Structure 1
Amino acid sequence: MAEFNRASLEELLKKRFFFAPSFSAYGGVAGLYDYGPPGCALQANILDLWRKHFVLEEDMLEVDCTIMTPHDVLETSGHVEKFTDWMVRDSQSGEIFRADHLIENVLETRLEGDKKAKSTDTLSATASKNNTKTKKGGAVPVLLDSATKAEYEEILAKIDNYTGPELGEIIKKHNIKNPETGGDLTDPVEFNLMFESSIGPTGSLKGYLRPETAQGQFLNFKKLLEFNNDKMPFASASIGRSFRNEISPRSGLLRVREFVMAEIEHFVDPLSKDHPRFDEVKDIKLRLLDSSIQSEGKTEPKELTIGKAVEEKIVDNQTLGYFLARIQLFLTKLGINPQRLRFRQHMSNEMAHYACDCWDAEIQSSYGWIECVGCADRSAFDLTVHSNRTGEKLVVRESLPEPRVYEKTVLDINKRIFGPRFRQNAKTLESYLLGLSEAELEKLKSDIESNGGKATVNLPNGNSYEVGSDFLTIGRQTFTEHVREYIPNVIEPSFGIGRILYSLIEHVYWTREGDEQRAVLSFPPRVAPFKCLLVPLSNNAAFAPLVRDISSRLRKLNIPIKVDDSSNSIGRRYSRNDELGTPFAITIDFQSTNDGTVTLRERDSTKQIREPVDVILDIVKELVEENTTWKNVMEKYTTFVRQELD
């Protein structure tokens, strides 16, 4: 098998119209792509498998929510303030880069230059501390000293954990510039990734194109709980388009501005995050790159069972671990190479504002390790903030077998004084105070007592108010509870379908030995865009009745087919459809018109069998549904030898 060549693959994908840049006749727009027929079919098959693997097998509740999202919703969720990346600008040309990606690219190029330098005798062995010699298209091979190389590798291992100012320091310290022009870079600044819009003709209602499908699921929680007969735990699921205004999209489908997501929100009791089906997956081995490994500047994952990982608290809980294992099973079903799949735990600075633990399923491609699935324990953040903002109780109520007696710190407001004192601000302040946790109330009480009966409260909107003991009473009270009321926690697996699709294509791409022009995409039958090729030996009219009959019968079996009756040779036609990833081909020749037999060819091995049409159709159905394998077929039927002529 020839060495992987990304340029050749990209040419194939363009030629076979898997996908292409949008609006190319007008010069195109970075980060926007159109899918052609095989790309659409491949994406649909991936989503079909996703639905079967998760929605059907896990009995999830699927919803389809609106793309346009009001400002208030995303302000409450934290996206308006925190959904940002750090960008830098070439101070001469004005070209913009995402800071962490630029640092990654430059340091990886320098490390590659170090490897090239060690493999040649043409360069001096004198080490260059920062290895800043570059040329357009790559690095001039220059040796690095061991300390600099180790520092580069540590930075790359921790790249997702740096703040904006820290990224700026790395850029300055290691003399990182625009790789193309050598131009100096500005300090990193934050950029919000959401597409802003307005709703309605006046433009007064501000909105955004959603950056994720999650918020619609959270806001429908109450309806979903009722639909599920108030039973916990349960999961919702959603497939749809999301939008992120990427700073500098450069890596094809891996970084785009409009994409399909498939997301799950698994609602669970915060006091019990065990999963009833965990025993089914506990022995599955995963390659885990946890935060402790990364903090040491290392990138080699350790392999252990998910049961052991949960037991040792590397993974926080059973439900999170269950979904990590199910994600791996899904990706390997698609055809992802398990040796090029790992799960990387988010480090502290990198953790999303809502998460208490988060892992990314990363797939290795020619672009490096790419996050394709995120799996986060979002705690109770989303339901809590939306409940506080709207006043709607997004809670679960469960009758207790025995009454529960407990103490709780509570706040009591004397509204006779409170209302007149704060007037138009009273409602906002009251809502904030009533949303404080017990720990926050205890701190407020302590501040009031230690400051002569008064304390200052700072609201998220930036306003400050002085409150006091003359109208606030904070203390412990005893409660008897017959019905337990709680806000669920959420475990969220989130799938970037385009990234998975592209990574899968790289993993199944290869060329035939001795002929790099004969490319093959070895998709598993379940996800291949077309399952079967129907090939008449020539355009002779004698073949037409059989072509019509077999194609009709295949379609009635719900098997997507492609008929190739062009004038090209049989070998060329086989080869063309190998590039589309079509796993099987039925060939009709003159013998077929005499005895009703046809040949069946398998894509990867190119081996064939010859049997009556009815037998071949039954075999194809079993192969496409993956109820049997080509190996089993070859053990049962005699190999038919036909030379594939170009």
Structure 2
Amino acid sequence: MATVNKTAHTFDKARLDALLNRRFFYAPAFEIYGGVAGLYDYGPPGSALQANLLAEWRRHFIVEEAMLELDTTVMTPAPVFEASGHVARFADWMVKDTGNGEVLRADHLVKGVLQARLDGDKEARGAAPVAAAAGADDKKKKKKVKTVAVRLEDAVVAEYESILAQLDNYSGPELGALMRTHAITNPGSGNAVGEPQQFNLMFASSIGPTGQHPGFLRPETAQGHFLNFSRLLEFNNGRVPFASAQVGRAFRNEISPRAGLIRVREFTMAEIEHFVDPLDKSHARFNEVADVELVLLDKYTQAAGQSTTRRMTIGAAVKEGVIANETLGYFVARIYAFLLHIGIDEKRLRFRQHMANEMAHYATDCWDAEIQNSVGGWTECVGCADRAAYDLTVHAARTGAALVVRQALKEPVVEERAVAEWDKKALGKTFKGDAGAVSKAVEALDEAGLMRLKGELAQGPAKIRTADGKEFALESTMLAIERKTFKTSIREFTPNVIEPSFGIGRILYCLLEHSFWSREQDVERGVLSLPTVVAPTKVLIVPLSARAEFEPLVREVSLRLRKAGIHARVDDSNTSIGKRYARNDELGTPFGVTLDFASVQNRTMTLRERDTTTQLIGSIDAVIETVIALVGGGLDWAAACGRLAAYDGVQAVEAEAEA
């Protein structure tokens, strides 16, 4: 698109919110019934914007990376999430207002109050405060943390900044201690809050008419990939690496959603599970991204109470061990490229590494693509984690399914190892129903454990503990432990998983913020400079008159554009052309074509570009060809200006006068 000064006016969130509401990008669900916090409906432009964003996501990842696409069920039986660890650990810390019982998320409360105090200090010192803190967006309940201009001691400022830099690393008890130490209360009521308690974020449900099968609405789409791993592996001819991808709905019972699309209870996710050999996490295309330079905030900087970022190339970050491996680094770079492609401001994008306490129970390394916005400051919009072999291992252990890769070796491997040979008759007679558990406990021992057991049996009975904690005495007559030589032609391993996970609603909202601006001559009416590739409508068709002779041309242009796969919209309302264009600038429509009296006589048509409002003119055929090239990405506006003549409005005026 053409370049234009979009900073003539300071960003005004109230104007953006009014535009999004008025033009029905999205709105609170069940609004006429009073609404439910954290649930939103998308209107026509919002739905189209999300669909276009997802189409680009599919092209950028699924198509270009040759991924296997899935669509798995939302309803999930409880044993799946019991095995995955979500039932025990998928939780946030909440606190209750001791006066009115209001529930607040603990880390958001600490962040909101301390940031407000720092803003008050900056105001007292004559500096501009930073953007509103997370959780301060509840207009309905007026919960915004009030900024009071009070100067703080330098040591207090440093302490607050240190706390905020490592806030995600605090445990529940540590958050409680912070609230007591710094006298943090509920800003809405002024009441004290209780000790933090864990709250599981999954929506519980049941399957079947009698509720005999407990289940949950999935909080992520990932488990569907792992449970179908064997089928995916077979589809990929038994080879790794390969990736599966899925776009779908997920549900999280957020404690206090007050930040629009940034924190909701139902949302769209786009997730990738890239299965890789644990002994080889290199990536075949890593050299293509090695020189990509990103803004990184690593875990060591945060743990030191600082938030200073540094610019590094992906190649250097992997080489120095800042990012764990090539495949993880490759996807971080691909995430970066995708976000810039759809219109995220590069200056408001960074990658932050998870600290020890905030790391998900399944992850060994994780980087968040954080996008700066006025609602939540730096907000996680994409997570990219190395999940190691956690998921496949726990589901295999729970079900007995062999979720492994069997790989033929070029050269057979010969090894000697200790094995236990049972007298099955004696084993069954002695332990009866526990015989299987006893044999599994012995087979689970490593080489050193087996040899130690052999030595104990030589001295007399030896004790073994089963997985359920029972203890049994083994006799040397029941088993013999010997070292044997084995020749192996097959290597069996559980693959590791690299997972990029996208929160589509958060990305969409940040994109709207980053695209919004106002013209000097029309401050009240905003412009959304959405890239053409994601814009809800690509072309506005504006007939100058409602006369009957315009109708065939309007139908022709509209049909030709739509047949070319271009979403075009006709605005033949009874208002000025300027107002019609302004209304569609609010919707982010990048191009507009005008059919005037010269069009009827000469088959000419003008073409307008949204951001600069400059116009070109040519034959209807030439303009349509140019629009198709512009929307398809094969032509930019500068090149279009070389293809068509500049338009000064004279031809339309002369033609109208002649008519």
- Structure 2 length-normalised TM: 0.90
Between the aligned partners of 2:456 and 2:538, the Cα distance in structure 1 is 70
The answer (yes or no) to whether the contact 2:323–2:329 under 8 Å persists in 1 is yes
Between the aligned partners of 1:300 and 1:443, the Cα distance in structure 2 is 52
Query: Deviation at 1:414?
Result: 6.6
The answer (yes or no) to whether the contact 1:83–1:193 under 8 Å persists in 2 is yes
Report matched runs for 1:210-609 at 5 Å.
Answer: 210-366=218-374, 367-407=376-416, 453-454=462-463, 464-470=469-475, 478-609=485-616
1:109-165: per-residue Cα shift (whole Å, max 9, x none)? Answer: 1111111111189xxxxxxxxxxxx99651211111111111111111111111111
In structure 2, the CA distance between the partners of 1:368 and 1:142, relative to structure 1 (3 Å rule), is same
Query: Deviation at 1:444?
Result: 9.3
In structure 2, the CA distance between the partners of 1:417 and 1:342, relative to structure 1 (3 Å rule), is farther
Query: Deviation at 1:543?
Result: 1.4
Between the aligned partners of 2:616 and 2:47, the Cα distance in structure 1 is 31
Structure 2 letter corresponding to 1:267: F
In structure 2, the CA distance between the partners of 1:473 and 1:372, relative to structure 1 (3 Å rule), is farther
Aligned-partner SS, 2:388: coil
In structure 2, the CA distance between the partners of 1:12 and 1:476, relative to structure 1 (3 Å rule), is farther
Structure 2 counterpart of 1:182: 190
Structure 1 letter corresponding to 2:471: E
Aligned-partner SS, 2:531: coil
Does 1:77 pair with 2:92? no
Query: Deviation at 1:188?
Result: 0.5
Query: Deviation at 1:515?
Result: 2.7
Between the aligned partners of 2:340 and 2:446, the Cα distance in structure 1 is 43
The answer (yes or no) to whether the contact 2:25–2:43 under 8 Å persists in 1 is yes
The answer (yes or no) to whether the contact 2:162–2:305 under 8 Å persists in 1 is yes
In structure 2, the CA distance between the partners of 1:346 and 1:436, relative to structure 1 (3 Å rule), is farther
Structure 2 letter corresponding to 1:466: E
Between the aligned partners of 1:343 and 1:412, the Cα distance in structure 2 is 53
Aligned-partner SS, 1:180: coil
Query: Deviation at 1:397?
Result: 1.0
The answer (yes or no) to whether the contact 2:441–2:464 under 8 Å persists in 1 is no
Between the aligned partners of 1:229 and 1:223, the Cα distance in structure 2 is 10
Query: Deviation at 1:300?
Result: 2.3
Aligned-partner SS, 1:40: helix
Between the aligned partners of 2:345 and 2:29, the Cα distance in structure 1 is 30
Query: Deviation at 1:480?
Result: 2.4
Structure 1 counterpart of 2:138: none
Between the aligned partners of 1:301 and 1:355, the Cα distance in structure 2 is 23
In structure 2, the CA distance between the partners of 1:586 and 1:144, relative to structure 1 (3 Å rule), is same
Of the structure 1 ranges 634-643 and 33-42, higher mean CA displacement relative to structure 2 is found in 634-643
Query: Deviation at 1:421?
Result: 6.8
The answer (yes or no) to whether the contact 2:407–2:490 under 8 Å persists in 1 is yes
The answer (yes or no) to whether the contact 1:388–1:431 under 8 Å persists in 2 is no
Aligned-partner SS, 1:604: coil
1:399-421: per-residue Cα shift (whole Å, max 9, x none)? Answer: 11211123557667776566677
In structure 2, the CA distance between the partners of 1:236 and 1:173, relative to structure 1 (3 Å rule), is same
Structure 1 counterpart of 2:199: 191
Structure 1 counterpart of 2:4: none
Q: CA RMSD in A?
A: 2.7
Between the aligned partners of 1:443 and 1:46, the Cα distance in structure 2 is 59
The answer (yes or no) to whether the contact 2:204–2:217 under 8 Å persists in 1 is yes
Of the structure 1 ranges 495-504 and 448-457, higher mean CA displacement relative to structure 2 is found in 448-457
In structure 2, the CA distance between the partners of 1:260 and 1:475, relative to structure 1 (3 Å rule), is farther
User: Number of residue pairs matched?
Assistant: 629
The answer (yes or no) to whether the contact 1:599–1:611 under 8 Å persists in 2 is yes
Aligned-partner SS, 1:203: coil
Structure 2 letter corresponding to 1:555: R
The answer (yes or no) to whether the contact 1:22–1:34 under 8 Å persists in 2 is yes
Query: Deviation at 1:288?
Result: 1.0
Does 1:626 pair with 2:633? yes
The answer (yes or no) to whether the contact 1:67–1:242 under 8 Å persists in 2 is yes
Structure 2 letter corresponding to 1:373: V
The answer (yes or no) to whether the contact 2:533–2:631 under 8 Å persists in 1 is yes
1:356-406: per-residue Cα shift (whole Å, max 9, x none)? Answer: 111111111112011011111111111111111111111111111211123
Structure 2 letter corresponding to 1:479: F
Of the structure 1 ranges 48-57 and 111-120, higher mean CA displacement relative to structure 2 is found in 111-120
Between the aligned partners of 1:238 and 1:244, the Cα distance in structure 2 is 18
Report matched runs for 1:8-19 at 5 Å.
Answer: 8-19=15-26
Between the aligned partners of 1:279 and 1:618, the Cα distance in structure 2 is 37
The answer (yes or no) to whether the contact 1:209–1:242 under 8 Å persists in 2 is yes
Does 1:117 pair with 2:143? no
1:544-568: per-residue Cα shift (whole Å, max 9, x none)? Answer: 1111111111110110011111112
Between the aligned partners of 2:325 and 2:373, the Cα distance in structure 1 is 30
1:298-352: per-residue Cα shift (whole Å, max 9, x none)? Answer: 2122111101111111111111010000000001000011111111111111111
The answer (yes or no) to whether the contact 2:238–2:405 under 8 Å persists in 1 is yes
Between the aligned partners of 2:30 and 2:464, the Cα distance in structure 1 is 59
In structure 2, the CA distance between the partners of 1:499 and 1:407, relative to structure 1 (3 Å rule), is farther
Between the aligned partners of 2:166 and 2:460, the Cα distance in structure 1 is 44
- Structure 1 length-normalised TM: 0.92
